[in-house]
Structure formats: structure tokens, C-alpha cells
A and B are shown apart, each in its own frame.
Chain A
């Protein structure tokens, strides 16, 4: 048996892996030797586990179905006398799925090979505004009024606590900025109102809002809207590396 060069973890799921094995072995897709392919499939799963790769549940499910198919093929067929139609090959379902999957895999390749806008072909219009101040068009920048009405919405959302709690709490804009940056790090965008979730305290809201404004002033985020009165999104305005994203007290006028 030849040695397989398989890039583990490179497979988009069990169907992809099975197709790969079928091609590699030059098997006839309509007559898949289930025992042989199952053995190879399990071998790869083993390797993945040895390498501590996370074997997703889907791969195990497929292994189970393969074994199931094999067991059905081993069972003697019950031939009914008047049954005109033959029992479907236990592999038929798998074959259908594989062919179907192959089709979309090809279609994906087809899409990939097309000239893509702003990569291979360019149109005249710049869809996303630059980081400069007064850019207009495309993804609209949020106006001051939109921002204020959004803030008003936040204020009207949560009920003010009924009791009066005298508590000296130091809310720091700097801290809040870092919180926002932290949240932004894993994401491409955040929804404005999500940042106010569970902040019913007026001071909390104000500090968060100030933190956002600071970030905009420092050109680290932008408020964007893709339609008028639509959701307000916070987006990083430039690709910022984590090191650059640290903000110290002294870089602001606040303490």
C-alpha cells in the first residue's frame, strides 16, 4: 500500500476526506469498497487523535455511518417475491451525498477563480471610506444626531434603580476603553447598543459613551451605519496590532 501524504486538518469535514480517499485510491464512486475505505478513514482519524488534533464529532459520525453501511451490506437480503424494485444499495445515500458535495466543492472553486471586485477588477467607486475625517458615501458615517438618539435609546432602556445607593465608585474612562478594545480584538465589528447591555446605571452608560468618543477621537474606531437610522456599528478604523492597542492613562486627559 502506498504511503499517503495527507494534510491533516486540511479537510472540510468527513465528506471532503472521503472524496479525497476515493480519488487517491482511484475507487469507483458507484462501487466503493466500504471495508477498505473505512479502514483508511479510521486510520486517519487515529492519526488525528495522536496528533491531538481536535477530531470533530462529524468525523466520528461518518465513521459510524460507514460501519453501519458495511454491516447492512453483510446482512442477507430479504427477497420479497413480488417486490419489483430492488432494495437500494446501502451505499446509495452516501454516494449521493458525496456527489452532491463534490458538485458544490467544484462550484466553490469556480467562484474562487472568478475575477473578484477590488481584488482583480476594480470599479470607480470607493465603497469604504478612508480613515480621513470628512469622507462621505458608501458605508455611511454616523451623524452626531444619530449618535445622540442612540444614546437616548440606551438611557430609556433600563429602569433606574429604585433605591439610592451611595457608593463611591471610580469609573475610569481608560479602563472602559480597554474593555471595548478587548471586545473589539476578536471581532470585526461591535454593535453600539451591545456595549451598553446590562448597564442600567447612568454613570456607567456615560463612561462607556465617553470611552467610545475617545476612541473615535484617537481614530481607533469608527461609528458606521449601513443604512439611515440603521444599527450603529463600531469598527476598528485601521488594522491595529494588539501591542498598539494598549492605552495608558497618560495618553488621555482623564485619570
Chain B
């Protein structure tokens, strides 16, 4: 049940908040059940889409925020708000590894990438995209790294689970035409270390087939 007058109220709240606004926070402010807030947010989201507004409601970093539509990017950049955020390939690669594999240590990142990654990690930390989560309880007590809420905000992700699923073999296998996109999506769950398990079990038939 959506109380109609809640929709503009929630819209106002989300608009005025300086960070992505969580449904719990909205529920507290307007004093309704959280589930009701979700219904309102859904309505609001649909309204933005159907009424052809310039902004859309996006779930980012666990909250909700209005964002301008990407198709207007070019004009909006002229506002001068654009931050020169150039990612090197090394930085993106490292960021992806940290995002999918966190909590992860620097040696683990370097094993996956095959190169020294210290300076890249430092840069990502300076940009507040990667943070130290703690120390791993193994000899040497290496730092473990993870992504920050800013990372989610930057890429418009609701949470880590909404990271796009990892594609297994991409073009390397596409030539043989064996993997259909649907099956690739189902098999991989994007949480932490599950990824490698899923891959290994899937890889076996291919390997033994040689």
C-alpha cells in the first residue's frame, strides 16, 4: 500500500540529503514501516522513469540518491562539476580484483595480476576507493584491503552483491562457442572466494576433455 502523499515527501527527503539516504532513515523520519518506504521508493523510481525526468532514483551504497541521466552527461559536464578521474588500466584491474575478492592481501592481488601493485593500491587508497580492513592473522600480519562506500557511489552500485557477475572465459572461449551467456550468469556468484571454487568445478570437463 502506498500512501500517495508519502511519495512527494520521500522525494523531498532524498533530494535534500547530502548522502545516499537509507530506507531505514526515511522510515524513521516519516514514521512508517520500512517496507512501506520501499514501496514508496519504488513508486518514485517508476515515476522518474515514466515521466521522462532528467534524474533517476538510484540505489547506491545502501541508500537512495537522485542522479542525472547518463544521456545528459555531455551537457552536465559543462557545469564544470566533472572531476578528472582518469583510471589507468592497472588501477581499474586492481580495483576490480579488490572489489570481487575482498578481503584480500597485497600478495594475493599481486599473484593475480602478476605484477607489483603497491603504488596502485596506494593511489586507490588516496582516492578513497580502497581501504584497509584490518590485518590478516597469518605470519607477517599482512594488511587486508577492501572497497569503500565511495567506490559503490562512484560506480553506482547498491552494494557489493550487485557487482556485475564475473564472465568466465570471455573471448578466449567464445571462439569455440561453448558458453552461453545465460549459463555463465547462473553459475557465478560474486561473493568473495566463491568465485574461484565455481570456476574450478566448471573448468574440469574442459580440461579432462583434452
User: Interface on A for B, CB 8 Å cutoff?
Assistant: 12-16, 19, 22-23, 26, 29-31, 56, 58, 62, 89, 92, 96-97, 99-112, 114-126, 128, 137-138, 188-189, 226
Q: How far is the CA of A169 from the CA of B76 in the complex (A)?
A: 54
Kindly list chain A residues whose C-beta atoms are within 8 Å of the C-beta of B89. 12, 108
Question: Which of A29, A110, A122 is the one whose CB lies under 8 Å from B172?
Answer: A29
Q: Can you show 29 pairs from A to B with CB atoms below 8 A apart?
A: A12-B90, A12-B113, A14-B115, A31-B210, A58-B116, A100-B112, A102-B169, A102-B170, A103-B166, A103-B170, A103-B195, A103-B199, A107-B96, A110-B164, A111-B95, A112-B92, A115-B156, A117-B155, A117-B156, A118-B82, A119-B82, A119-B83, A121-B69, A121-B73, A122-B81, A123-B68, A124-B15, A125-B19, A226-B128
Q: Which B100-156 residues have C-beta < 8 A from chain A?
A: 100, 111-116, 126, 128, 153-156
Kindly list chain B residues whose C-beta atoms are within 8 Å of the C-beta of A108. 89, 92-93, 95-96
Known: A12-B115, A107-B96. A120 touches B85 (CB 8 A): no
Kindly list chain B residues whose C-beta atoms are within 8 Å of the C-beta of A118. 81-83, 85
Is B24 interfacial (CB 8 A cutoff)?
no
Question: Which of A104, A107, A117 is the one whose CB lies under 8 Å from B154?
Answer: A117
Kindly list chain B residues whose C-beta atoms are within 8 Å of the C-beta of A125. 18-19
Q: How far is the CA of A116 from the CA of B58 in the complex (A)?
A: 13
Is B34 interfacial (CB 8 A cutoff)?
no
Verify A121–B68 contact, CB threshold 8 A: yes
Kindly list chain B residues whose C-beta atoms are within 8 Å of the C-beta of A106. 166-167, 170
CB distance from B59 to the nearest CB of A (A): 13
Inter-chain residue pair count (beta carbon < 8 A): 144
Q: Which B153-196 residues have C-beta < 8 A from chain A?
A: 153-156, 163-164, 166-173, 175, 195-196
Q: Which B65-90 residues have C-beta < 8 A from chain A?
A: 65-70, 73, 76-77, 79, 81-83, 85, 87, 89-90
Verify B153–A117 contact, CB threshold 8 A: yes
Question: Which of B19, B69, B163, B167 is the one whose CB lies under 8 Å from A103?
Answer: B167
